[in-house]
């Protein structure tokens, strides 16, 4: 199994993250990628530099005007009078609370403040000078890993950072700018008719859900912490099943605060069964390690061995698989869970 990662992904180095009414140092930082390359490297997985596939795989998922905003926002924003060090929104449009929240078109405003509030959903996506380059490289990492599998490899690992599953067609949020898992799934669709995304990050992948909500060719199956008092708050409920042609092709299994290894592995088992019943020909795994009890964001009681158990269940599907890195903010938990998962996945994957 090849591991893909680009050092350009370290160029996103924000200093501000708004949470509980304070601006603090971001939990999503370059140290996470370093921990992953170190610990996965010890398994014998050397990082391969992704090829540059240009904007095509990104534009297959994201709106062109959103991509252009991300490319130009830092220069335009920091030219404002008395600008802060990073792009941060301070106004937001009213968004109708539809389950899909698909592409919303271009904002009518042309000013940088209005566009920032339109395209950046919350205070976890401060943009620095290197953010676009890092997000672009993270997307290329996903595309390269998916092309490896579309070309015949049995599995690949996309060490994506910044992560992706909260990014919408035209909105950054939850530390995410480009939806790497969606990009990987769309690349896999060039070879496979039915692709599934299985997401076990502890946050609901609301961006991924929205991107594929009306589509029957990509199943999105997620287990995550009950969003009624947890990020992303507005989506991730069990009754969100897809719409139009995509009705029945979205599955959410929310977990109550305090859920343990048994509940977590059982929920992943439910997702695995759904992927098999769907008849998926290829799989994208949105792999976050933040359900781990040691994670600063976790509300669950999941321990390291659970990641070995779910790896065996997922590997048992026997599908061509792209593992895409999402969240995980305790470096200690990441250093245990990610290599254990990877080792057990590779051992059980046929
Ligand atoms: Zn997460």
pLDDT digit string, tens, across residues 142-177: 999 999 999 999 999 999 999 999 999 999 999 999
Show the tokens assigned to 147: 């092309």
DSSP run (H or E) holding 195: strand 195-199
Task: Quickly tell me which residue has 């042309």 as its tokens.
Answer: 110
Q: Evaluate if residue 97 carries a pLDDT over 70.
A: no
The pLDDT value recorded for residue 21 is 95
Q: Evaluate if residue 105 carries a pLDDT over 90.
A: no
How large is the average pLDDT for residues 314-322? 98
CA dist list (Å): 60 to 139, 147, 194 = 12, 14, 17
CA 196, CA 274: separation in Å to the nearest integer?
9
- Residue 292's CB is within 10 A of a number of other CB atoms, namely 26
Show the tokens assigned to 153: 């490899």
Q: Evaluate if residue 263 carries a pLDDT over 80.
A: yes
Show the tokens assigned to 23: 């601006």
Give this prediction's pTM: 0.97
Q: Percent of the chain beyond pLDDT 70?
A: 97
Q: Is residue 62 within 8 Å of 170, Cβ to Cβ?
A: yes
Tell me the CA–centroid distance for residue 82 and ligand 1, in Å: 33
Considering only CA atoms, which of 38, 33, 45 is closest in space to residue 6?
33
| pLDDT band at residue 96 using 50, 70 and 90 as cut-offs | low
| pLDDT band at residue 350 using 50, 70 and 90 as cut-offs | confident
198 preceded by a cis bond (ω within 30 of 0): no
Tell me the CA–centroid distance for residue 288 and ligand 1, in Å: 6
Tell me the CA–centroid distance for residue 301 and ligand 1, in Å: 15
The pLDDT value recorded for residue 100 is 56
pLDDT tens readout for residues 39-79: 999 999 999 999 999 999 999 999 999 999 999 999 999 99
Tell me the CA–centroid distance for residue 101 and ligand 1, in Å: 20
Task: Quickly tell me which residue has 């496979």 as its tokens.
Answer: 192
Tell me the CA–centroid distance for residue 57 and ligand 1, in Å: 24
CA 336, CA 289: separation in Å to the nearest integer?
9
DSSP run (H or E) holding 222: strand 218-225
DSSP run (H or E) holding 287: strand 282-287
Catalytic positions: 166
The residues near 313 (Cβ < 8 Å, ≥ 6 apart) are 265, 268, 269, 272
CA 267, CA 181: separation in Å to the nearest integer?
20
The pLDDT value recorded for residue 6 is 98
Tell me the CA–centroid distance for residue 65 and ligand 1, in Å: 26
How large is the average pLDDT for residues 81-90? 96
Q: Assign residue 42 a region: left if phi > 0, alpha if psi is -120 to 50, beta otherwise?
A: alpha
Show the tokens assigned to 71: 């490319």
Parse the chain into domains and list their residue ranges: 2-12+24-51+134-348
Helices (H), the chain: 30-41, 56-59, 64-77, 112-119, 131-150, 180-188, 206-212, 261-278, 304-315, 331-348
Tell me the CA–centroid distance for residue 109 and ligand 1, in Å: 32
Helices (H), 167-320: 180-188, 206-212, 261-278, 304-315
CA 48, CA 61: separation in Å to the nearest integer?
24
Q: What pairs with residue 244 in β-bridges? A: none
Q: What pairs with residue 127 in β-bridges? A: 87
Tell me the CA–centroid distance for residue 203 and ligand 1, in Å: 4
Q: Is residue 157 within 8 Å of 168, Cβ to Cβ?
A: no
232 preceded by a cis bond (ω within 30 of 0): yes
Q: What pairs with residue 4 in β-bridges? A: 48, 158
Show the tokens assigned to 46: 């050397």
The pLDDT value recorded for residue 254 is 98
| pLDDT band at residue 94 using 50, 70 and 90 as cut-offs | confident
Q: Evaluate if residue 95 carries a pLDDT over 80.
A: no
Q: Which CATH number fits domain 2-12+24-51+134-348: 3.40.800.20, 3.20.20.70, 1.25.40.10, 1.10.3720.10?
A: 3.40.800.20
CA 16, CA 330: separation in Å to the nearest integer?
18
CA 188, CA 146: separation in Å to the nearest integer?
6
Task: Quickly tell me which residue has 């290894």 as its tokens.
Answer: 261
Q: Is residue 332 within 8 Å of 283, Cβ to Cβ?
A: no
């Amino acid at each position: 199994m090849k591991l893909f990662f680009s050092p350009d992904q370290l160029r996103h180095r924000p200093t501000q993250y708004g949470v509980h009414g304070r601006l603090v140092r971001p939990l999503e930082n370059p140290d996470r990628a370093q921990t992953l390359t170190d610990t996965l490297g010890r398994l014998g997985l050397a990082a391969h530099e992704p090829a540059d596939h240009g904007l095509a795989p990104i534009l297959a998922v994201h709106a062109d005007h959103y991509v252009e905003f991300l490319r130009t926002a830092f220069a335009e924003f920091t030219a404002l009078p008395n600008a802060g060090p990073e792009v941060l929104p301070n106004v937001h449009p009213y968004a109708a609370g539809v389950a899909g929240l698909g592409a919303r078109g271009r904002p009518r405003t042309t000013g940088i403040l209005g566009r920032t509030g339109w395209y950046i959903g919350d205070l976890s996506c401060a943009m620095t000078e290197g953010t676009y380059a890092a997000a672009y490289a993270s997307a290329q990492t996903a595309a390269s890993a998916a092309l490896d599998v579309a070309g015949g490899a049995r599995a690949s690992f996309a060490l994506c950072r910044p992560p992706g599953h909260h990014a919408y067609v035209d909105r950054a949020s939850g530390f995410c700018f480009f939806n790497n898992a969606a990009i990987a799934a769309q690349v896999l669709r060039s070879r496979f008719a039915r692709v599934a995304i299985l997401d076990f990050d502890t946050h609901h992948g609301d961006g991924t859900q929205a991107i594929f909500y009306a589509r029957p060719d990509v199943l999105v199956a997620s287990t995550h912490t009950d969003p009624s008092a947890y990020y992303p708050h507005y989506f991730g409920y069990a009754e969100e099943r897809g719409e139009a042609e995509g009705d029945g092709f979205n599955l959410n299994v929310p977990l109550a605060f305090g859920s343990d290894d048994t509940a977590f592995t059982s929920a992943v088992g439910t997702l695995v069964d759904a992927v098999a019943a769907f008849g998926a020909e290829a799989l994208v795994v949105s792999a976050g390690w933040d359900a781990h009890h040691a994670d600063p964001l976790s509300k669950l009681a999941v321990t390291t061995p659970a990641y070995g158990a779910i790896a065996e269940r997922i590997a048992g599907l026997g599908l061509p698989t792209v593992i895409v890195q999402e969240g995980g903010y305790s470096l200690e938990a990441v250093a245990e869970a990610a290599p254990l998962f990877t080792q057990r996945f590779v051992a059980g994957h046929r």
